[in-house]
Chains A and B, each alone.
Chain A
Amino acid sequence: MKINVTINNEKKELEIAPDDILLDVLRRYGYHSVRRGCDTGMCGICTVLLDGKPVPSCSIFAARVDGHEITTVEGLPEAKELAKILAEEGADQCGFCSPGLIVNTVYLKKLKIKKIEEVKIKLIGNLCRCTGYVGQHRAIEKFLGVEK
């Protein structure tokens, strides 16, 4: 079957099977920033924006996004700024979980969330095994302008 999706502001017609998962379809079409971490919607690594809101793409049928808008880290202009700050803190390490974290954090910036406790709660679903989170928080605080 075919679906029509806007991905990173580009209109696309994608050929999918009815039981295809969004994550697999995005990777098949070359959006490699969307990565599989856990298969169970627990790690946040495959996070993309669906009509502007973060979702785990491993837990959504591709057929459901017909007529909707998907944004990955490649389509987020603010991603580069956050990436730079994360890099300056050395908070990337293996980088596998970073795109999902960036997508979610850029979304928090749009919501103007500035309290660190609230930020941590909102990002609790973005797991990271390398950094221990501390460096990420140093960077995210700067990016969001967290009030101290």
Chain B
Amino acid sequence: MKEVTRKIPKKDALGLLLGKPVYTDDLAPKNSLIVKILRSPHAFAKIKNIDTLEATNIEGIECILTYKDVPRIPVTRAGQGYPEPSPHDWYILDEYVRYVGDEVAIVAGKDEKCVDEALKKIKVEYEVFEPVLDFEKAEGHSSVIHPEKETHPMFEIGFDAQKNIAASYEMEIGSVEEELKKCDVVVSERFYTQAQAHVAFEPHSAASYIDMQGRLVILTSTQVPFHVRRIIAEAFDIPIKNIRVIKPRIGGGFGGKQAVHGEPFVAAVTLKTGKPAKIVYTRQEVFEATYSRHPMRYDITLGATKDGKLKVIDMQGLSDTGAYGEHALTTFMVAGSKTLPMYNKVDAVRFKGKVVYTNKVPAGAYRGYGAIQGNFALESAIDLLAEKLGMDPAEFRRKNMIREGETSPIFKIMGEGREGVDMVVRSCKLNECLEEGMKLINWKEKFPRKKISETKYRGVGLAIAMQGSGIANIDMGAAVLKLNDDGSFNLLVGATDLGTGSDTILAQIAAEVLNVPTEDIIVYSSDTDLTPFDVGAYASSTTYVSGNAVKRAAEKMKKLIIKEGALKLGLDESKVDFDGKYIYEINGNKKVSLKELATVLLYTENQKQLISDASYVGEESPPPFMAGFAEVEVDIETGKVKLINYVAVVDCGVTINPNLARIQVEGGLVQGIGMTLFEDVKYSPNGKLLTNNLMHYKIPSRLDIGNIIVKFVESYEPTGPFGAKSVAEIGIDTPPAAIANAIYNAVGVRIKTLPITPEKILMNLNKK
């Protein structure tokens, strides 16, 4: 392969690195009204009265909108497949406010100063209710967070608003209770994961204006431009044809931008005033009023026979979706569907639980999407079981984990919000990942621990993980290729590059098919007027789903070139081929260059525009796999954990661009390490988020990460474009369990609640 597997820089790299104006705030119309949001100071209240008169009279204020001024149509902000698995429980503005930070009023004015002043002058009277802040007490709480009649799911998701239940799910294969009786060893433990904040560095931003045809144009930092168009159309009851959504470059997303956030507010202002408007969230707003990861609780029971065969997995969960049920059911199900198939030889498996509303910052999509929560619980419990069996945890996994050519009934039973698809895992090098990782970390030498000094111990721990490659039978991506007169191509895709480099990867795939340099493929992505549909960047889908669409479109283009080339040469199509430069006679001397053919096609002979298109929906969602190994040093005097080494060995199929794949894994690992060791979300007793800035919410710095070693094993996914699977999320999944296991192996303390802070370790050490 010439273009695929090339470590080329991203097409937009130099522009991004050297500070070109490419993000939403850089490109918003210069005369945009500044839009800000008055946010609720209460965790749960009803607005009794809003007086905006004094605020409206401030010089420079253009409009102030309250729930009385905007349509009240229940939608979900979550950008997912349609019909949506998230309940329709959100309104542009509502008389109820359901968390500290919920929107009360939209204020637009000529500059920040007048808008800030107006925000202070709006008088709101609230009827304050007792908030639901503890997700373990949410079900059946006397406060009902969504009492309104209009809120509803689009299909059966186990929704029960009167009991504060956004979704619920249950499945069982075999009989867990019966099989547990036949087990020699059983472990049963409870685990908790916290609400991690995304901290994409470009804050959520959106701008809007009315174009010369009177249509609403929205420029936005989003992962899902086509979903934004649909949701805005629905929320404002305007036709989709009257909306254009443009995604410029995105300063990171990680799931936090897989939804509408600022878009409805600028749209409301532009629709009301006819004027351009923009909103740029403050960092505090990003923390308080966008998304965080669903906190979850899992009760895990595992059973095995004494020879080390895992027989039973039972996962019973509770997930906290915050004030709105965005991604509620799907993140919960992924905690099972992207962990349980790893142990496919069990006799019985059960996964059940509920997702509840609380009066906290809404939870949403976040890289890992449930899998990291489930992985922490399951992979911690697997180590507990292996220890009880007296087995090396690596050996226990090797004996029980999924292999290439095998399947799991989970694939069919658990999809995302609905039934999944049957599939055989065609590429799975999990065993190779495990072997290679053990070598790189030096497992045999280092497991379980080494004493470094009187107060310091080093331990190693591991976890295995899987993810998916898009959502089978749901996620669709499409691509269009267009031949230019110099023989270059425009590649138009709806796929949404949010910094990952997917534009470049998709160009590499097209270039490989056409046998041209990637530099000859000009990519334009994510503009609902100009590019074909794509669900967007989520569920690790772009390389696999959009990549397959691009590959098909390029194959069609190649056929078109051969057909037109044959006509030009006066030969039958079967007698010619195309090598990237020339269309040539296979057994002869006739040839015409692509450039010449392209020029005559546009200007002189047999004139036409060569254009090809293709769409792709995965019939399967081939999982990438990895094995993660942590080596930690624990100080028993302070409880402090130092991450010494983290080894990640990944099977993501063929890496289309090994540099970009590696960075995806490294970046995922570090987010996972942050979640494991210190990223924490704290609320005041009244439900106000305390960790609402980067002083109080610590993300990993370059000194916190230890030595990170990423390796890819050789693997080829037959259904993927040139053998590729996804790589976006798999990196984040293993650190919580691998580090927890390493800490246990180092000092014998098992932390079951993330993050694993020095306080928790020390308190557990003192208990021993």
Residues of A bordering B, CB below 8 Å: 17, 27, 30, 32-40, 42-43, 45, 72-74, 79-80, 83-84, 86-99, 102, 120-121, 123-124, 126-137
Contact = CB atoms under 8 A, between A and B. Distances in A.
Provide the main secondary structure of the chain A interface: loop
B372 to A, nearest CB: 15
Contact of B251 (A34, A73, A95): A95
Q: Which 6 A-B pairs have the closest CB atoms?
A: A33-B19, A95-B16, A94-B499, A96-B251, A90-B659, A132-B670
Nearest to A103: B19
Given A94-B202, A94-B499, A74 B18 contact: yes
B18 A97 contact: no
A94 B18 contact: no
Contacts of B16: 92, 94-96, 98
Contact of A132 (B19, B26, B250, B663): B663
27 contacts: A37-B283, A39-B693, A40-B693, A42-B694, A43-B201, A87-B9, A87-B13, A88-B7, A88-B9, A91-B663, A93-B663, A94-B249, A95-B12, A95-B249, A95-B251, A96-B252, A98-B17, A124-B702, A127-B694, A129-B198, A129-B671, A132-B667, A133-B702, A133-B705, A134-B670, A134-B710, A135-B663
A42 to B, nearest CB: 4
B203 to A, nearest CB: 7
Contacts of B10: 87, 90, 92
Given A96-B251, A130-B252, A134-B670, 16 more contacts: A32-B21, A37-B283, A90-B663, A91-B663, A92-B9, A92-B10, A92-B16, A94-B499, A98-B17, A102-B18, A120-B703, A127-B699, A129-B200, A130-B663, A132-B663, A134-B710
B20 interface: yes
Contact of A72 (B13, B19, B660, B702): B19
A92 B17 contact: yes
Contact of B284 (A39, A73, A135): A39
What interface size band does chain B fall in?
35 or more
B694 A40 contact: yes
Contacts of A134: 666, 670, 705, 708, 710
Contacts of A27: 25
B695 interface: yes
A104 B170 CA distance: 53
Interface in B563-582: none
B19 A39 contact: no
B662 interface: yes
A135 B670 CA distance: 12
A102 B26 CA distance: 19
A84 B19 contact: no
Contact of A39 (B17, B283, B699): B283
Choose among A79, A123, A129, A136 the residue with the greatest number of B CB atoms under 10 Å from its CB: A129
A127 to B, nearest CB: 6
A129 B702 contact: no
B1 interface: no
B242 interface: no
Contacts of B199: 129
Given A37-B201, A40-B283, A129-B200, A90 B18 contact: no
Given A39-B283, A93-B667, A129-B671, A33 B18 contact: yes
A83 B12 CA distance: 12
Contacts of B284: 39
Contact of A121 (B23, B282, B695, B703): B703
Contacts of A45: 201
Interface string B240-284: 000000000111101000000000000000000000000010111
B17 A94 contact: no
A121 to B, nearest CB: 7
Contacts of B670: 132-134
B687 interface: no
Contacts of A87: 9-10, 13-14, 17
A130 to B, nearest CB: 5
Contacts of B695: 40, 42
A32 B17 contact: no
A94 B200 contact: yes
A86 B400 CA distance: 42
B375 interface: no
A62 B498 CA distance: 32
B666 A135 contact: yes
A62 B693 CA distance: 23
A98 B202 CA distance: 12
A141 to B, nearest CB: 12
Contact of A95 (B17, B662, B667, B693): B17
B663 A83 contact: no
Contacts of A43: 201, 694
Contacts of A34: 19
Choose among A74, A120, A132 the residue with the greatest number of B CB atoms under 10 Å from its CB: A132
Choose among A34, A35, A86, A121 the residue with the greatest number of B CB atoms under 10 Å from its CB: A35
Contacts of B282: 39
B501 interface: yes
Nearest to A136: B702
Choose among A45, A102, A128, A130 the residue with the greatest number of B CB atoms under 10 Å from its CB: A130
A86 B15 CA distance: 12
B701 interface: yes
B252 A124 contact: no
Contacts of A127: 201, 694, 699, 701
B657 interface: yes
B499 A73 contact: no
A43 B421 CA distance: 43
Given A35-B23, A95-B249, A129-B671, A137 B702 contact: yes
Given A83-B17, A94-B200, A124 B283 contact: no
B720 interface: no
Interface in B626-677: 657, 659-660, 662-663, 666-671
B220 interface: no
Contact of A94 (B20, B26, B498): B498
B500 interface: yes
Contacts of A74: 18-19
B252 A131 contact: no
Contacts of A89: 659, 663
Given A36-B203, A129-B254, A132-B668, A86 B17 contact: yes
B248 to A, nearest CB: 12
Nearest to A129: B199
Interface in B178-199: 198-199
A93 to B, nearest CB: 4
Choose among A34, A86, A126 the residue with the greatest number of B CB atoms under 10 Å from its CB: A86
Nearest to B694: A42
A132 B280 CA distance: 25
A14 B538 CA distance: 43
